[in-house]
Amino acid sequence: MAAAPLVLGLETSCDETSAAVLRGERELLGHVILSQDVHKLYGGVVPELASRAHLRVVDDVVDGALREAGVELRDLDVFGVTAGPGLIGALLVGVTWAKAAAYATGRPLVTVHHMEAHLFAANLELPAAEPPFVALLVSGGHTLLLWVPAWGRYELLGETRDDAAGEAFDKVAKILGLGYPGGPVIERTAREGDARAHTLPRPMLAAAQRPGEDDYYDFSFSGLKTAVLNRVRELEAGGRLTDETANLAASFQAAVIDTLVAKTLRAVQATRCRRVLLGGGVAANRALRDGLAAALGNGGELFFPTARMATDNGAMVARAALFHYQQGEIAGLDATARADLAFPGLER
Ligand code: KG4
Ligand code: ZN
């Protein structure tokens, strides 16, 4: 039997520069993730600064992953890279790097969709995280509810109409003066608060919604963010914001989680599949994982990546690249990055 391919996964779509060396499906030999701190100064990702930071460190990040793996560039069998969606300047750094490496070594290039890579993250650590499953992908840029009968076959059930779930965490953290990125700090702050302290809307969630109606599975988080903003203004005027920050963080987090869990459960009922896979940066949220596990109950199975694999990383890119390589989907050297790359194999 031929040895399992050695795949490089390169991720530069947003504010993490990351490279991984993966042998076969889950032997992670080297993995470096460098998060760009510079964006903390601005309370969000500044695209031009992200591109420049990727350019500065991409060589060292790949070198670090190769060194950890004990291999050299010429030992690699496949170059996998995120080609979109994401920030165009940031994506171009990774795609150009991978194209140059593929050309120099004569090895195949495989381009990967960032959200499909998130779908593969749990599988790196859990062999059982295989389709069929209902997938909830929640990141800073996307919120997708999918039915996945097999790898490469994706049915879109619902998506956000406005802000992504992670984006809502980031914006609410900014409103509460908690810093960037918002998810981890809201989760920490929420632990000190009471989720029942403030009544906030459960966006686009109503008992009267029926299958077949668009809003049955879709999400919307921008109204919730505005509701938090209005509450913050009232509290500030009364000089009570500091006392209420933890309660507000907890109430906000509960509203997001209730909505995500309820819509995921609708998908479970419709597909009669009690296997659920969670992916994307927000999958690092423990309250979300616990809420989903409780809602699924004993008859269900929940798969989620560890926190390091949930947020952006090169390992998930390598894992998704391996799948497409095995399908014979090799990109040409005319491949390019696309900020709005379409999800491969997605049916609406
Ligand atoms: O997948 P990801 O690393 O990057 C994108 O593809 O966007 O996701 C980043 C998002 C950010 O919005 C961040 O606030 C959120 O994931 N996030 C979390 C947590 N950790 C990261 N949200 C909620 N709870 C967390 N613990
Ligand atoms: Zn991501």
Q: What is the DSSP letter of 24?
A: T
DSSP of 197-217: SS----TT--TT--TTSGGGT
- Parent domain of 222: 128-304
Residues 295 and 180 in one domain: yes
Nearest residue (by CA) to ligand 1, atom 23, is 183
Ligand 1 pocket (Cβ < 6 Å) reads 14, 139-141, 166-167, 169-170, 181-184, 187, 280-282, 284-285, 311-312
> How many CB atoms are located within 10 Å of the residue 307 CB?
13
Contact between residue 107 and residue 78 where contact means Cβ atoms under 8 Å apart? yes
- Both 20 and 103 in one domain: the answer is yes
Q: Could you read off the pLDDT tens digit of each residue along the chain, which spans 348 residues? A: 678 999 999 999 999 999 999 999 999 999 999 999 999 899 889 999 999 999 999 999 999 999 999 999 999 999 999 999 999 999 999 999 999 999 999 999 999 999 999 999 999 999 999 999 999 999 999 999 999 999 999 999 999 999 999 999 999 999 999 999 999 999 999 999 999 999 999 999 999 999 999 899 999 999 999 999 999 999 999 999 999 999 999 999 999 999 999 999 999 999 999 999 999 999 999 999 999 999 999 999 999 999 999 999 999 999 999 999 999 999 999 999 999 999 999 999
Give domain status of residue 106, yes or no. Answer: yes
Q: What is the pLDDT of residue 1?
A: 62
Mutate to test the pocket of ligand 1, among 34, 119, 282 (most ligand atoms within 8 A of CB): 282
| Separation of CA 138 and ligand 1 centre (Å) | 8
Which residue's CA is minimally distant from atom 8 of ligand 1?
A: 281
Judged by its nearest atom, the ligand closest to the C-alpha of residue 165 is 1
Predicted local confidence at residue 51, as pLDDT: 98
Q: Which residues surround ligand 2, an ion (CB under 5 A)?
A: 139, 312
Looking at residue 108, its amino acid is P
Does any domain span residue 298? yes
Q: Is residue 293 part of a domain?
A: yes
Q: Look up residue 231 and give its amino acid.
A: R
Nearest to 94 by CA among 81, 105, 85, 107: 81
Taking the C-alpha atoms of residue 272 and residue 28, their distance in angstroms, rounded to an integer, is: 34
Are residues 213 and 104 part of one domain? Answer: no
Structural domains in the chain (count): 2
**Which protein residue has the closest C-alpha to ligand 1 atom 10?**
140
Judgement on whether residues 276 and 320 belong to the same structural domain of the protein: no
Which ligand is the nearest neighbour of the Cα of 163? 1
CA 250–ligand 2 middle distance (angstroms): 24
Instruction: Read off the CATH number of the domain in which 207 is found.
Output: 3.30.420.40
- Cα 311 to averaged position of ligand 1 atoms, centre (Å): 6
| Distance from Cα 343 to the centre of ligand 2, integer Å | 13
Here the tokens at position 150 are 């097999």
State how far the Cα of 55 lies from the Cα of 83, in Å rounded to an integer: 16
